[in-house]
Copies of this chain bind each other. A is one copy, B any other.
Amino acid sequence: MSYAAKAIGVTSVTPLAWVGGKLRILDQTRLPGEVRYLELAQPGEVVQAIREMRVRGAPAIGLAGAYAMALAAQSAREADLPAFLKHLRREAEVVAAARPTAVNLAWAVQRVWRAVEAAQSAEAARASALAEAQRLHCQGMEAERRLADYGAGLVPPGATVLTHCNTGALATGCYGTALGVLRRAWVLGRLRRVVATETRPLLQGARLTMWELAQYRIPATLVVDAAAGVWFQRGELACVVVGADRIAANGDVANKVGTYTLAVLAHVHGVPFYVAAPISTIDLHTPSGRDTMIERRRPEEVSHLGWGWGPDSQGLPAAPEGVEVDNPAFDITPADYVTAVITEAGVLRPPYQDSLQQVKHE
């Protein structure tokens, strides 16, 4: 089957676009039940959308942050350059702090800030902000397609591959990282099936990955997080491919909670464990996973099913009222469990202390 034939009927997934001077985002809290777009005109609206996970996934958050800077520049009234920059500096701090764990957000905001800072006038700075956000978006698309090409080469023919959370176009605003690898492997005829973990508490696997895979017509099986072990035991998994929110200098990976457990299972079963992430995810200023701040989110995400998404955002109580909940959004996978890191510049192997530094400095 050719690519063109496979593409018939494929719905395009456009989670993030600059349309008519506003940032249009696909509201991911409403998926899979409803495809609803939000038009955001103010940086504060973008910050809120990031916090409420209407846009989520480290790279997509980064792009949303970049566009938030463009919106901030657009709505800043100051004609005087120093006053304009002061205003934008404040906005940059607020936007960068919308979520703490993903390094891409601070990185993208910083990129736009530098472009703004270099401008000769407030007017030029305004144009620079949007241009830089759009450049990041284009670069992201190109980078993820390269990443997907590199990663697809690691997927053996006829593979069943496990993935966690959502790392597709919805997560990046572009082509996808781990799911991009699987999309590419599918197009190349190497992929048989994706096994997607539902990814509690917010069910990005069930709600978003299964939805994306359905758009791409890729065969997929949904399992609860705790059932992944059964697939390892059956010996049916060729590899695991996940994304990353932050990769420390030593190769430790911060990613959606549950990633560590999958890495341990992969290790015990001798299944390759790949992390697919753009170079912007690598943070050489964080020496190891121990130094990564792990966001703890609201207990209601666990105690109330569907809390924060779906038609009734209050959710269905699934535990007695007032129970104590521990809800870390991420966990740390030690570098030892990571077979390779797939980036847009190639596949990185241990020792990561060297390979990450090299790719970052190229």
Query: A interface vs B, CB < 8 Å?
Result: 32-33, 195, 197-201, 203, 206-207, 210-211, 214, 219-231, 233, 257-258, 260-261, 264-265, 268, 302-303, 305-306, 310, 312, 316-320, 323-328, 331-332
Contact = CB atoms under 8 A, between A and B. Distances in A.
Contacts of A198: 200, 302, 318-319
B305 A306 contact: yes
Contacts of A305: 305-306, 316, 318
B224 A302 contact: yes
Where chain A touches its partner, the secondary structure class is mixed
Nearest to A311: B316
Given A302-B224, A306-B318, A332 B210 contact: no
Contact of A32 (B210, B224, B264, B319): B319
As for how many copies of this chain the complex holds, the number is 2
A201 to B, nearest CB: 5
Contacts of A261: 226, 228-229, 261, 265
A206 B260 contact: no
Nearest to A227: B257
14 contacts: A200-B200, A206-B323, A219-B324, A221-B325, A226-B226, A226-B258, A226-B261, A227-B331, A229-B257, A229-B258, A230-B257, A230-B328, A305-B318, A306-B318
